[in-house]
């Protein structure tokens, strides 16, 4: 029966990977795969296990108990993401990201490349790489009119955003998964991955900055339309509230989603106050006491959240949990360790694999495969590899997929022009991580 389970998982995985070819949203095979796997486990009364990380062995349990356990762990991630997405949408409701565009005052292509790269690197660490990519490409479309030039900028933004998301516990969904699973801590993650991630971003930008594509200036129009004091305030409040979440976790030792809900409550309160004030002023000026219906910015933000992504994470995480509960991942990890005694090779393969296969299930699988403790270098390397390896193909990361949609970037154009840069950056960052890790271990 395990063969049937693995076959269903592989077919579901293929359907997710070939989403664009099949023209079926990846949430459909993810949800179907999850439901079928657990249904087969329940109907055939298969033995399920819980991994004892301390003893590194499997302990028998019941289906209801293990499913509830995995649902709880998955819900922590989903609630956290819902909170973060809502805060970002509230900022956008007030045109907060227009403040970032107002910082761009020069016309040099090379300077703009470095500005967008560092903005992507920093923003993705705060509001996640997917959102940072959406924000920066939206700004890019207003700043750079020539589409061919814009494609090169977009390619480097993808690399920088994925590199920036790797070193922050809230920068990439896979890093967030490791953080919530108590595999990495905020301070240690930043300490071990900031330099490798920075190198992963700087090397490709340095190479491309010297190419003909980034010589000369661009034509730019001075346009501050949409920028308001309210927008700037909500931008700084929203970003600050998201950054506050790891601090809250460190102080209280509560799960991250609790801090995110507190941050959302604070941002939503100010959003409602500012929105009501604007509504009152508008109503008074128009001489209409009712002023029309008052649309809550929080309700608007919630309506704009990417629910298909949330449901996809639900399906894929619980599908991987089914394999973990059957002990398949545990035995697969033992096989990998015997085949590749050096775990660095395994992690590098995982990074390369994340360019082809969605990195969420890969990291979910690695959490079930390895039993190393909190802040073991293995987890830091997995966070880096899964986060930055996806840049090597445009379909390998959420940032790449959204950029592909916004700019209609051709898969093969990216493969020819950008993939080799992403690979060099990934390799340089990996080498930096290994050297720094070994140096620290030797000193200790």
Name the nearest CA neighbour of 327 among 8, 65, 77, 56: 56
pLDDT of 341-371, one tens digit each? 778 888 898 888 888 766 777 787 788 778 7
Q: Any idea what DSSP says for residue 235?
A: H
pLDDT > 90: what percent of the chain? 30
| DSSP conformation class of 48 | E
Contact 84, 180 (CB under 8 A): no
Position 95 scores a pLDDT of 84
Which pLDDT score, from 0 to 100, does residue 32 have? Answer: 94
* Angle 175-196-204 from CA coordinates, rounded to 5°: 105
**pLDDT at 154 (0 to 100):** 92
In this predicted model, which residue has the larger pLDDT, 42 or 330?
A: 42
Q: Which of 397, 420, 438 is nearest to 164 (CA)?
A: 397
Alpha carbon distance 314, 34 (integer Å):
9
Most confident listed range (147-151, 188-192, 333-337, 403-407): 188-192
Q: Is the per-residue pLDDT at 157 higher than 60?
A: yes
Residue 201: band (very low, low, confident or very high) from pLDDT cuts 50, 70, 90: very high
Residue 291 pLDDT grade (very low, low, confident, very high; cuts 50, 70, 90): very low
Quote the pLDDT of residue 225.
Answer: 59
Give 220 or 423, the one with higher predicted confidence: 423
Rounded Cα–Cα distance for residues 385 and 372 (Å) = 17
223 or 49: which carries more pLDDT confidence? 49
Cα(358)–Cα(401) distance, integer angstroms: 11
- CA–CA distance, 143 with 107 (Å, rounded to integer): 9
Mean pLDDT, range 289-309, rounded to an integer: 72
**pTM for this entry:** 0.74
Strand partners, 51: 58
Who has greater pLDDT, 191 or 243? 191
Which helix (H) or strand (E) segment is 50 a member of?
strand 48-52
pLDDT of 55: 53
pLDDT tens column, 234-266: 989 988 898 888 888 889 988 888 998 999 999
Rounded Cα–Cα distance for residues 419 and 424 (Å): 9
pLDDT of residue 226: 59
- What pLDDT does 444 receive? 61
Mean pLDDT of 36-60: 80
Give 56's pLDDT tier (boundaries 50, 70, 90). low
- With cut-offs at 50, 70 and 90, classify the pLDDT of residue 289: very low
Largest CA distance in the chain: 77
pLDDT at position 286: 46
What is the model's pLDDT at position 290?
A: 47
3-state secondary structure of 217: strand
Closest among 201, 277, 192 to 234, alpha carbons compared: 277
Task: State the average pLDDT for the chain.
Answer: 84
Is the pLDDT confidence value at 43 over 70?
A: yes
pLDDT tens per residue across span 92-124: 888 887 887 777 777 788 989 999 999 999 989
The answer to whether 359 and 174 are in contact (CB under 8 A) is: yes
38 vs 64: CA distance, rounded Å: 10
Residue-wise over 90-126: b if at least 16 C-beta within 10 A, else e?
Answer: bbbbbbbbbbbbeebeeeebbebbbbbbbbbbbbbbb
Helix axes 229-252, 186-209, angle to 10 degrees: 140
pLDDT at 224 over 60: no
List alpha helices for 186-255, DSSP H: 186-209, 229-252
């Amino acid at each position: 029966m395990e063969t049937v389970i693995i076959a269903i998982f592989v077919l579901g995985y293929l359907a997710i990977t070939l989403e664009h070819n099949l023209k079926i949203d990846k949430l459909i095979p993810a949800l179907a795969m999850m439901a079928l796997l657990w249904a087969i486990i329940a109907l055939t009364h298969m033995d399920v296990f819980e991994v004892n990380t301390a003893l590194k062995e499997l302990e028998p349990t019941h289906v209801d108990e293990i499913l509830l356990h995995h649902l709880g762990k998955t819900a922590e991630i989903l609630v956290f993401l819902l909170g973060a997405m809502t805060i970002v949408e509230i900022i956008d409701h007030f045109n907060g990201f227009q403040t970032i565009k107002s910082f761009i005052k020069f016309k040099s292509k090379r300077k703009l490349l470095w500005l967008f790269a560092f903005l992507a690197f920093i923003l993705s660490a705060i509001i996640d790489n997917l959102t940072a990519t959406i924000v920066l490409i939206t700004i890019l479309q207003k700043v750079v009119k020539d589409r061919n030039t814009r494609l090169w900028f977009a390619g480097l933004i993808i690399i920088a955003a994925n590199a920036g998301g790797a070193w922050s516990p809230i920068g990439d969904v896979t890093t967030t998964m490791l953080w919530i699973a108590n595999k990495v801590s905020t301070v240690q993650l930043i300490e071990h991955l900031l330099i490798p991630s920075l190198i992963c971003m700087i090397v490709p930008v340095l190479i491309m900055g010297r190419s003909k594509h980034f010589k000369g200036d661009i034509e730019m129009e001075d346009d501050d339309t949409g920028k308001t004091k309210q927008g700037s305030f909500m931008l700084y409040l929203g970003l600050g509230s998201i950054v506050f979440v790891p601090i809250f976790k460190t102080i209280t030792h509560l799960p991250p989603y609790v801090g995110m809900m507190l941050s959302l409550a604070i941002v939503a309160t100010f959003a409602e106050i500012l929105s009501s004030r604007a509504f009152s002023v508008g109503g008074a000026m128009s001489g209409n006491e009712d002023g029309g219906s008052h649309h809550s910015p929080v309700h608007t933000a919630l309506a704009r959240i990417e629910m298909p992504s949330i449901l996809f994470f639900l399906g894929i995480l619980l599908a991987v949990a089914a394999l973990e509960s059957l002990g398949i991942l545990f035995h697969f990890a033992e096989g990998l360790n015997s085949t590749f005694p050096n775990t660095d090779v395994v992690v590098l393969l995982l990074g390369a694999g994340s360019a082809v296969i969605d990195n969420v299930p890969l990291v979910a699988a690695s959490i079930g495969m390895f039993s190393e403790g909190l802040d073991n270098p293995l987890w830091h390397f997995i966070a880096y590899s899964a986060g930055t390896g996806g840049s090597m193909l445009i379909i390998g990361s959420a940032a790449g997929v959204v950029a592909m949609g916004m700019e209609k970037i051709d898969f093969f154009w990216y493969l020819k022009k950008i993939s080799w840069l992403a690979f060099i950056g990934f390799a340089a960052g990996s080498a930096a991580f290994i050297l720094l890790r070994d140096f620290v271990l030797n000193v200790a």
